[in-house]
């Protein structure tokens, strides 16, 4: 049923156009920026900005990103399972005990991985 998505595309165009058009149109009313000097510098509590921001930052952010990918993919796998577990469409519903057992195995492996991460200290921030 891809026709359902046509109103969504129109809505997406409207939602993207609304802020962009407002931003452009009100440029005519807005005072032209006459900002010079320190006004155009990045804010750092009144002192000169120290160093470049395009540097390196804490590795923990990367660890969180990697862990997120793992756990989010697991969640995505659970979505179709959850729907098929109790769908009302005839003939598609999974057999309850089998479905639950297979998901317990799946989540069990996830939990073992989680415990390993926990013991490694990957979930600690400091």
Partner 1 sequence: MHAVIQYLISIWVPLVCALVIVGVLPLVTGYIVLMERKVMADMQARLGPMRVGPHGLLQPIADAVKLLIKEDIIPDEADKAIFWIAPLISVTAGMLAMSALAIGPWFQIADLNVGLLFIVGISALGIFGIVLGGWSSNSHYSLLGALRSAAQLVSYETAAGMAVVGALLLAGTLSTREIVTAQGDYGTWFIFAAPVGFFIYVVASIAETNRAPFDLPEAESELVAGYMTEYSGFRWALYFLAEYTNMVVVASIATTLFLGGWLRPFAGTPAFNFLDYFPSALMIFVGAYCLYRAPKQPVKVQQLFMMVLGLAFFGVALILAAPLIGRVNDMLPGLKPGLHGAFWFLLKVGSYIYLFMWLRFTFPRYRFDQLMRLGWQFLIPLSIVNVMGIGLALVLHRQWGWSHWTAFPLTTALTLLVAGWLGWAGEKKDKEHVFVGES
**Using the rule CB under 8 A, is 109 a contact of partner 1?**
no
**Using the rule CB under 8 A, is 35 a contact of partner 1?**
yes
DSSP string of 77-107?
Answer: HHHHHHHHHS--STTTSPPHHHHHHHHHHHH
CB of 13 to partner 1, least distance (A): 9
**Using the rule CB under 8 A, is 65 a contact of partner 1?**
yes
Please give the backbone phi and psi of residue 25, each rounded to the nearest 5 degrees, phi first. -65, -40
**Using the rule CB under 8 A, is 111 a contact of partner 1?**
yes
The conformation of residue 48, written as its DSSP 8-state character, comes to P
CB 66 within 8 A of CB 37: no
**Structural tokens at position 17:** 């156009």
Q: Where are the alpha helices (DSSP H) in 1-126?
A: 5-25, 60-85, 96-120
Instruction: List CB contacts of 125: < 8 A, sequence separation 6 or more.
Output: 60
Among residues 47, 57, 59, 90, the one that binds partner 1 under rule CB under 8 A:
57
**Using the rule CB under 8 A, is 33 a contact of partner 1?**
yes
**Site residues (vs partner 1, CB under 8 A):** 1, 4-8, 10-12, 14-16, 18-20, 22-23, 26-27, 29-31, 33, 35, 39-45, 49-50, 53-54, 57, 60-61, 64-65, 67-68, 71-72, 75-76, 78-79, 82-83, 85-88, 93, 96-97, 99-100, 103-104, 107, 110-111, 114, 118, 123-126
């Amino acid at each position: 049923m891809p026709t359902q998505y046509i109103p969504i595309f129109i809505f997406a165009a409207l939602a993207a156009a609304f802020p962009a058009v407002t931003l452009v149109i009100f440029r005519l009313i807005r005072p032209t920026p006459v900002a010079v000097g320190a006004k155009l510098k990045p804010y750092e509590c009144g002192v000169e900005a120290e160093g470049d921001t395009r540097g390196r930052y804490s590795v923990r952010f990367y660890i969180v990103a990697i862990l997120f990918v793992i756990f989010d993919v697991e969640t995505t796998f659970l979505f179709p399972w959850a729907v098929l577990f109790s769908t009302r469409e005839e003939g598609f519903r999974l057999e309850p005990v089998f479905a639950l057992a297979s998901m317990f195995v799946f989540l069990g492996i996830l939990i073992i991985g989680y415990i390993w991460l926990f013991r490694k200290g990957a979930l600690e921030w400091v």
